[in-house]
Chains A and B, each alone.
Chain A
Amino acid sequence: DAGVTQSPTHLIKTRGQQVTLRCSPKSGHDTVSWYQQALGQGPQFIFQYYEEEERQRGNFPDRFSGHQFPNYSSELNVNALLLGDSALYLCASSLRTGTWDTEAFFGQGTRLTVV
């Protein structure tokens, strides 16, 4: 099992452009969460997808959007990129079992640099 895989590993974009980041969850997991980690900070929750719907959202603008596919993989899209969007973007997957979640496994992250 490759665990959680994210692509690409690094990305450089220009201000105003749009970017799509991808995540494949750990085998058997059905829930994907995205986090933004700025330099020197802890990960900040962006949103979570379960059953192909956004279930919970953190304090991020509508420029951040996502999608989950039937195979549970997910995409994070960011429109109108700002310099402040430069960060490490982490994907985490887990399995929802009724009233609780299993351990969240994290990917290696995608390092986005906006110039």
Chain B
Amino acid sequence: AQRVTQPEKLLSVFKGAPVELKCNYSYSGSPELFWYVQYSRQRLQLLLRHISRESIKGFTADLNKGETSFHLKKPFAQEEDSAMYYCALKRGQAGTALIFGKGTTLSVSS
């Protein structure tokens, strides 16, 4: 079965500190992995897609197939990064659903 696990419900850091939001998945095939973000009172939006290998707002994520992980990292957190972050998995073909983790709330304080 496909499953996404985000072990931390809440991560609190100080501004300027490094951030790592953990995501582990279970899927036997070749998945697509995503990070979605939801800022306060805004809609869910795509932050990163592993196949694009981009860095968005200073965030990066590397797919580790050996450890079945897709952790989200940022070297220096900003207060505007405070939001809910969801890791999601999708089978690597058209017309398949996104499977979401339960989400991690990131709180960045000064």
Contacts and interface: CB of A to CB of B under 8 A. Distances in A.
Interface stretch (B12-20, B41-49, B56-64, B74-82): B41-49
Main secondary structure of the interface of B (DSSP, over half): loop
Nearest to B51: A100
B25 interface: no
Contacts of A100: 92-94
Interface in A60-115: 90, 92, 96-101, 103-109
Kindly state the interface size class of chain B when it binds its partner: 20 to 34
B98 A99 contact: no
Contacts of A4: 43
Contacts of B92: 100
A108 B93 CA distance: 26
Nearest to A100: B94
Given A106-B44, A107-B43, A98 B102 contact: no
B76 to A, nearest CB: 27
Given A40-B102, A106-B44, A107-B43, A33 B94 contact: no
B79 to A, nearest CB: 24
Contacts of B102: 40-42
Given A43-B44, A43-B86, A106-B44, A33 B97 contact: yes
Interface string A40-58: 1111110010100001101
B94 A101 contact: yes
Given A90-B44, A106-B43, A45 B94 contact: no
A4 B42 CA distance: 13
A31 interface: yes
Given A103-B49, A104-B46, A109-B43, A45 B98 contact: yes
A41 B99 CA distance: 12
Interface of B: 4, 6, 43-46, 49, 86, 88, 90, 92-103
21 contacts: A33-B98, A35-B100, A41-B103, A42-B6, A42-B86, A43-B44, A43-B86, A44-B100, A48-B95, A55-B95, A56-B96, A56-B97, A58-B97, A96-B94, A96-B95, A100-B93, A100-B94, A101-B95, A103-B49, A105-B45, A106-B45
